[in-house]
Structure 1
């Protein structure tokens, strides 16, 4: 792998965002490996391109129609030449939030994406999405912090 090969990872990430914005479940799923594992924010597990496409098709036709996947911050790490680990804070901007440039707090997630290079290109092999709710910012977290002072 070369630096040029590594520099193509952001292109795959941009393609994920574009296919989401376009509401194209097939294109979104095609960016994943045939045996990819995809864990949605609610814990739903989808395995393989067909399940990923089938899981996103009704979202893109329904509540997520016209939404945008927006990245707030991102880090990319290459633990091996053919593996990229992307950790990012991102979220969905809904279609009725046309003037927003960043996701609302309730739509913000932290996710980990693992990409592998198979010799011909990069694809997502694993994805884990977790809603971003820092414990210290919750009511219980604030109460517990005050009790320890």
Structure 2
């Protein structure tokens, strides 16, 4: 069972997911520390709130981004002020109703507790393509679908 710090870390993760789903670049960027790092699905690495904001703004302005469907798998406290959260994520493309398995991902967030509360030091979104193992893609998609539908 998660303690209050775990709950705070999970809330921080849900905030970044909600900001993405609402196409809110400013909302996402402000969740990071000043020198926080975001590593995107395509491997792009951004450092600092301004760089993250400058990268996300044109994406949200020019592309119909798909919302995330997520499931937190694990939160590990590495002391009282650092935590690692692992989650799985899928996306439902605009105009569709089902998760698109080709963009499933593992997400890792390193959170640090600052005077102003928990902030993201690292957020990494790694493709979960499982080359040559389609049963693992299917298993992850099924788990996300069940989590999303509450079954």
Task: Tell me the TM-score normalized by structure 2.
Answer: 0.79
**Contact preservation (8 Å) 2:75, 2:83:** yes
1:115 to 111, 116, 130: 111
Corresponding residue number in structure 1 for 2:50: 50
Which whole-Å CA distance do the structure 1 matches of 2:33 and 2:64 have between them? 23
Which whole-Å CA distance do the structure 2 matches of 1:124 and 1:80 have between them? 16
Is the aligned partner of 1:38 residue 2:38?
yes
**Contact preservation (8 Å) 2:85, 2:108:** yes
Corresponding residue number in structure 2 for 1:147: none
Corresponding residue number in structure 1 for 2:88: 89
Which whole-Å CA distance do the structure 2 matches of 1:74 and 1:60 have between them? 27
Q: Secondary structure at the match of 1:13?
A: helix
Q: Secondary structure at the match of 2:78?
A: strand
Q: Secondary structure at the match of 2:94?
A: coil
Assess, with a 3 A threshold, how the Cα gap between structure 1 residues 92 and 64 changes in structure 2: closer, same or farther: farther
Residues paired across the two proteins, number: 132
Structure 1 residue 58: deviation in Å?
A: 1.6
Instruction: Trace 1:1-149 onto structure 2 (pairs within 5 A).
Output: 3-65=3-65, 67-97=66-96, 99-100=97-98, 103-137=99-133
**Structure of higher CA gyration radius:** 1
In the alignment, structure 2 segments of 5+ residues that lack a partner are 135-151
Structure 1 residue 86: deviation in Å?
A: 0.9
Corresponding residue number in structure 2 for 1:143: none
Structure 1 residue 34: deviation in Å?
A: 0.8
Structure 1 residue 120: deviation in Å?
A: 2.8
Which whole-Å CA distance do the structure 2 matches of 1:96 and 1:23 have between them? 16
